[in-house]
Amino acid sequence: MLFMPTLTRAEAAERASLVDVETYHVDLDVTADGDTFRSRAVVRFRARPGAATFLEFEPVEASSLRLNGAPVDPSAIRDGRLHLDGLAESNELVVDALMRYSIDGEGLHRYIDPADGNVYLYQHLFINNGGRVLPCFDQPDLKASWQVSVTAPAEWTVATNGMLVSRDGGRWEFAPTKRISTYLASLIAGKYHVRTDEHDGIPLALYARAALAEHLDAEAAEIFEITKQCLDRFHEMFEIRYPFGHYQQAFAPEFNFGAMEYPGLVVFRDEMIPRSVVTESEREHRANVIAHEMAHQWFGDLVTMAWWDDLWLNESFAEYLGTRVASEATRYSGTWTTFAMHRKAWGLRADQRPSTHPVAPDEVTDTDAALLNFDGISYAKGAAVLKQLVAWLGDEAFLAGLNAHFAAHAYGNATLADLLGSLSKASGRDLSGWADVWLRRAQVNTLRAEVRRDGANYAEVAVVQTAPAGFPTLRPHRVGIGLFDQVAGGAVVRRRLIEVELEASGRTVIAELAGEPAADLLLLNDGDLTYAKIRLDEESAAAVPLLLPLLDDSLARAVIWAAVLDAVVDGERPVAELVTLVLAALPTETEVVIIEDVLRATRGLVDRYATGQARPAALELLAQAADRLLRVSPAGSSNQLAAARGLIGATTEVALLRGWLDGENVPDGLTVDADLRWLIQYRLAVLGAAGAAAIDAELAADRSASGEQWAARCRAALPDAAAKEAAWTAVVADGSLSNRLAELTAAGFWQPEQLDVLAGYAERYFAEMPEMVRVRKGMSAEKTAMAAYPDVAVSERTRQLAAGLLARADLNPILRRVVQDADDDMRRALAARG
C-alpha cells in the first residue's frame, strides 16, 4: 500500500517562497517485467541558501541519493517525502530509484490487455502523484522544463509532452518542454498503434492500443478533422498560437478521467475509440472533450492556476470554451442543447448537496480537498456563469481580456484577481461585485414565473427569485423569456423572445409583457442564458404534456425537460407524472441527447423515488415509451440505438432479450454488436435469466478489455448470494483489482430488483468502506465508493447508518464527501416516496 501525503496550501506557499525549480530530467527504464520500474532523475533548482525543504517521493527503494554531489542519507525519505536541508543557491539533486507501477490510474499505470497480452503504460501525476514516478516539487506554481528519456522494449512506442529527438532501438530521447506544472507531465509507452497528420505547421498524432488499431483507423479522419477545426477556431480567438509544438492525442486503457490536458500529449479514456455502433451524441461528446482539452492548452497549461482554489480558471473556462468551440467549429452545432440538458443538471445537483462550495472558494486547504472540487460546480456551474458573463460583457471585450491575461502570464501562474483585472480593463466594467455573488458564494437560485391574466392577455408577468435559507444570496440574472403558441398544423413555435436583466431582488415585473396576448407556453430562461433552477407558471406546466411533443426548438425542449426533471428531484412533482410525460412526449423526440438523458434520469428516479409497489408499473411505462420510440425511429439511426438501449434497461421481457441475442425479431437497422450484446446480458443477469455460464461464454467470445469489464459488472449483478459475496469482497479488499474493474464491479452490485439477496450489505457498506479507501486511493477510491453506495436501499435505516459513519472523526475526507452527498440524495428519495 502506498502512502500518498497531502500537501497543504500553507506548505506549498512556504515552499514556493524558498524554491524556484528550473529543470527535471527523468530517465525511465521500463524493460523489466513485473510491478516495478527504474527511475533516474536529475532535479535542478534554486533555493534560499541554507534553507530546508522537501520533494514528494515514494520509492520502493532508492539506490542512490546525491545533493550537489554529496550523498543524502536514505532516512531523509519518510512519509512520502524526501527531506533536504542545507540547500545552496543553485542545487542539483540526482536520484536513482526503484518505483512501483500503479493499477489505480495514478502515477505510472500499467495495464495488460486481455485481448493480446500486450503491456501498456501511461503516466498520470495528477493531483499529487508526481512522487510515484520521481522526486519532484509537486505543486502547480513550481513550474519547470521537463526532459524525458525512456528505455523500453524495442517493439514499443513511447511518447511524451516533448518532441522526439532520437530513437535508437528501445532508447527514446525527447526534447525539453516549456515550463509546465508537475501534474501536467505525461508519458505513454507500449505497442500503441499510431496515426499521424499535420495541420498549419503543427504535427498531429493519435495513439491507441494494438487491439483497437482497426477502430482507431476508422475514427482517425473524424478525430483529425475536429482537431484541425478546433485549432483554427482557437487561433482565431487567441493571439498566442498553440504553444506546445506538436499536438498528440492518446487513447489509454483504464484512464480515470474522461481525458487530461497534458500539453503536447493529451490523454483520453480509450472508450472514446468505439468498437461498436455509437450514437451521434456520443460522437458529439468526444468532439466536445477534444475541444475542452484543447482549451486547456491556454487555460491551465500556458497559464496555470497558482493553487487549487483557482481550479475554475482551468475547468470552468475549458468547459465553456469546449462547448462553444465545438458548436462553432465542428458539425456538432447542438452542444449548447447538450449543456442545457446534461451538463448544467450536473452542476445544479452538485450545488445543492451538503458538499457545495463556491466556484472560486476563498481557500482550498490541501490536495485532498482540491481533488473533491473536481465536480459539477467547478465544471458546469462555472461554465454557465461564464456564458452569462460573456452575454453581459460582450464577446469582443471578453476575448480582449483573455488575450491580455495570456500575454501577461504566459508559461507562468495566475489567480482570480489577475483574470478579473484583465477582463475589467478590457470591458471597462468593475467585475468585483459580479465575482462576489457568482464565484465566491455557493448554492443556486430558483426562478419562478408568476403570471396573472386579464382575459386573453397578460395583466402581469413577474419573475420571483428565491435562495435557500442557508445560502440567502440573490443574484443578477440575464434571462430570455419565450412565448410559444400552437399554430395551424399543430406545431408549437416561438412567437416572441425577450431578454431581460433581473436585479438581485426577490421579484421583478416584466413590464414588456403587460397587455401581451397570453401564450400557450411561457418559457423562462429560453435560450438557457442563466444558471438557475427554473419553474414554469402553472398554466404553462399544465400545457407541457400536450405542447412539448410539438415544440420545434431543441434547446427550448431541453430547458423544459431539465426543469421537469429537477422538479421531480426536488419532490415538487411526483415521479409518476414524469413517467407519464415520458410516455407522451419522448416517442416524438428527435434530439438523441434529450432521449438518452431523459431515459437515464427517469430510470434513476424510478429506481429510487418509486415505492416497491409502484416501481414495476413505472418501469413498464418507461419500457413502453422506449419501445414506441424504437418503432418510429429511422433504421440505423442514433435515436433507434438510444431507444433500444432504453428498452433493454427497462424491460422485464426475457424472451425479447434472448431473441435479440439469437438474432430473432431484431428491428431493421439495429446492430446487435459486442457492446449491445453485453448490455442485454447485463439486463438478463439482473433479472436472474442469465447465470455465470452465460457470462463466461460471452466473455470467451469477446476476450477484450471491454469484454473483461462488462463481465465483471455482469457477475456483480447476479442475484445470487455467492456472486454478491465475491463481488463485495473484490471491491472492498482486493488490492490487485484495477481501478476500472473495481468501479464496474461496484456499479453492477446494487439492483432494486434484488433487495432480498442484498439484505445486510447496506450495513456492510458503512462498516467496511473505510477499509476500501485504505486499499484504494484518490479518484479510484472516490469513484468506487460512489458506485458501491446502497442508493437503492431507500430507508431511514440506511440514513441512520450513514449518520453513524459520518460521526467518526477519523473518516477519510473522500469517503465523508461521498456519504454526505449520497445521504442527501436518499433524503430526497424518502421525501418523494412520502
| Model pLDDT for residues 695-723, shown as the tens digit of each residue | 999 999 999 999 999 999 999 999 999 99
End position of a domain, from candidates 190, 207, 235: 190
**Residue 138 located in a structural domain:** yes
Contacts of 122 (CB under 8 A, 6+ apart): 108, 109, 186, 187, 188, 189, 250, 252, 255, 267
pLDDT recorded at residue 796? 98
Is pLDDT of 2 > 70?
A: no
End position of a domain, from candidates 135, 162, 190: 190
For the residues 340-367, what does the mean pLDDT come to?
95
The 10s digit of each residue's pLDDT in 563-582 is 999 999 999 999 999 999 99
In degrees, to the nearest 5, what angle opens at C-alpha 831 toward C-alphas 829 and 834?
110
pLDDT recorded at residue 5? 75
Residue 390: burial class (beta carbons within 10 Å; 0-12, 13-18, 19+) = middle
**Residue 142 located in a structural domain:** yes
> Which domain covers residue 727, as residue numbers?
719-834
The 10s digit of each residue's pLDDT in 519-560 is 999 999 999 999 999 999 999 999 999 999 999 999 999 999
Task: Write the CATH number for 179.
Answer: 2.60.40.1730
Query: CA 566 to CA 445: how far, in whole Å?
Result: 13
Closest Cα to residue 281, out of 597, 554, 49, 572?
Answer: 597
pLDDT recorded at residue 3? 54
For the residues 636-650, what does the mean pLDDT come to?
98
The 10s digit of each residue's pLDDT in 25-82 is 999 999 999 999 999 999 999 999 999 999 999 999 999 999 999 999 999 999 999 9
On average, the pLDDT of the chain sits at 97
Residue 78's DSSP bridge partners are: 81
For the residues 616-624, what does the mean pLDDT come to?
97
End position of a domain, from candidates 140, 174, 190: 190
Query: CA 523 to CA 368: how far, in whole Å?
Result: 41
In degrees, to the nearest 5, what angle opens at C-alpha 593 toward C-alphas 237 and 544?
115
For the residues 509-528, what does the mean pLDDT come to?
97
pLDDT recorded at residue 1? 40
For the residues 795-814, what does the mean pLDDT come to?
97
The 10s digit of each residue's pLDDT in 170-186 is 999 999 999 999 999 99
For the residues 822-826, what does the mean pLDDT come to?
98
**Residue 294 located in a structural domain:** no
Which residues carry out catalysis? Answer: 293
The 10s digit of each residue's pLDDT in 237-247 is 999 999 999 99
CA distances from 65 to 18, 97, 107, 148, 420 (A): 21, 9, 21, 19, 44
CA distances from 508 to 201, 468, 471, 503, 512 (A): 53, 18, 20, 7, 12
Closest Cα to residue 93, out of 46, 139, 60?
Answer: 46
**Residue 492 located in a structural domain:** no
Is pLDDT of 605 > 80?
A: yes
Residue 378 identity (one-letter amino acid) = S
The 10s digit of each residue's pLDDT in 284-313 is 999 999 999 999 999 999 999 999 999 999
Element (H, E) at 458: strand 457-466
Contacts of 374 (CB under 8 A, 6+ apart): 311, 315
For the residues 324-337, what does the mean pLDDT come to?
97
Residue 794's φ and ψ, nearest 5 degrees, are -80, 110
pLDDT recorded at residue 702? 98
**Residue 443 located in a structural domain:** no
**Residue 304 located in a structural domain:** no
Query: CA 289 to CA 260: how far, in whole Å?
Result: 9
**Residue 57 located in a structural domain:** yes
Structural domain count of the chain: 2
pLDDT recorded at residue 391? 87
**Residue 4 located in a structural domain:** yes
For the residues 376-390, what does the mean pLDDT come to?
96
The 10s digit of each residue's pLDDT in 663-702 is 999 999 999 999 999 999 999 999 999 999 999 999 999 9
Written as nine digits, the cell of 44 is 535542478
